[in-house]
Structure 1
Amino acid sequence: MFKVQGINHITIRVSNLDESIKFYVNVLGAKIVHKGNTDIYLDVGGVWLCLIEIKDAKPMDKNQVGVDHFAFTVSEEHFPKAVLMLHEQKVSFTRGPIQRGGGNTVSFTDPDGNEIEFFTGSLQKRMKNWN
Structure 2
Amino acid sequence: MVSISNSVKTGITTGTLRRVHHIALNVQDMQASRHFYGTILGLHELKGEEVPKTLIELVAAGKVANFVTPDGTVIDLFGEPELAPPDPDPKRGFTRANHLAFDIAPELFEQAVEVLRENQILIDHGPVTRPTGRGIYFYDPDGFMIEIRCDPMD
> What TM-score bracket applies, with the shorter chain setting the length?
0.7 to 0.9
Equivalent of 1:104, from 134, 141, 154? Answer: 134
Following the alignment from structure 1 to structure 2, what is the Cα–Cα distance between the partners of residues 65 and 92? 19
Matched residue, 2:79? 53
- SS of alignment partner, residue 77 of structure 1: helix
Q: Does structure 2 conserve the Cα–Cα contact (< 8 Å) formed by 1:43 and 1:49? A: yes
Following the alignment from structure 1 to structure 2, what is the Cα–Cα distance between the partners of residues 117 and 82? 11
Matched residue, 1:93? 123
- SS of alignment partner, residue 6 of structure 1: coil
For residues 105-120 of structure 1, the aligned pairs below 5 Å read 105-120=135-150
Matched residue, 1:43? 68
Following the alignment from structure 1 to structure 2, what is the Cα–Cα distance between the partners of residues 92 and 36? 31
- Aligned-partner residue type, residue 31 of structure 2: D
- SS of alignment partner, residue 127 of structure 2: strand
Task: Quote the sequence identity (%).
Answer: 25
Following the alignment from structure 2 to structure 1, what is the Cα–Cα distance between the partners of residues 83 and 108? 34
For residues 1-131 of structure 1, the aligned pairs below 5 Å read 1-2=12-13, 3-34=16-47, 35-37=59-61, 38-46=63-71, 47-59=73-85, 62=92, 64=94, 66-121=96-151
TM-score with structure 2 length normalisation? 0.73
Following the alignment from structure 2 to structure 1, what is the Cα–Cα distance between the partners of residues 35 and 76? 14
Structure 1 portions without partners, runs of 5+: 123-131
Structure 2 portions without partners, runs of 5+: 1-11, 48-58
Q: Does structure 2 conserve the Cα–Cα contact (< 8 Å) formed by 1:14 and 1:20? A: yes
RMSD of aligned Cα (Å): 1.8
* Pairs aligned (count): 122
Q: Which one has a larger percent strand, Structure 1 or Structure 2?
A: 1
- SS of alignment partner, residue 90 of structure 1: coil
Runs of at least 4 residues off by over 4 Å: none
Q: Does structure 1 conserve the Cα–Cα contact (< 8 Å) formed by 2:23 and 2:74? A: yes
Q: CA deviation at 1:121?
A: 2.6
Q: CA deviation at 1:102?
A: 1.1
- Aligned-partner residue type, residue 14 of structure 1: V
User: Which one has the largest radius of gyration?
Assistant: 2
